[in-house]
Amino acid sequence: MHANMQIYHNPRCTKSRETLELIQDSGAKVEIVEYLKNPPTATELSAILDKLGMKAEDLIRKGETVYAEKYKGKTLTEKQWIQAMVENPILIERPIVVSGKKAVLGRPPENVKKLLR
């Protein structure tokens, strides 16, 4: 039923772990993508943003050191923000859950229930 579900997961993140647990408790099959080890390509990230209905800049974790050092106060294009996340995957807000043509951000983790119906 939900075999094509993926979670872009950071095992060190509480929200990411809670979201993964909600998916597993539902019985849905999920592929875990540890995006810090295997970052998405610019094409994959662009497709994920389309499914989320978000702009690249809205997916940036602005509390990260690398953001403060490299990007704070800068105006970047959509492609440049995507490239920034590809090069610095720590900047990608987490967790992202993708199911078919839809995706949600697991903040709060309960958001994933929209994909589990």
Residues classed as catalytic: 13
Please report, as a single letter, which amino acid is at residue 83: Q
d(CA 91, CA 86): 9
Rounded to 10 deg, the angle between the 42-52 and 78-87 helix axes is 120
Q: Give all strands of the β-sheet with 96-99 in edge-to-edge order.
A: 30-34, 5-9, 96-99, 102-105
How many residues comprise the chain?
117
| Other residues' Cβ atoms within 10 Å of the Cβ of residue 12 | 9
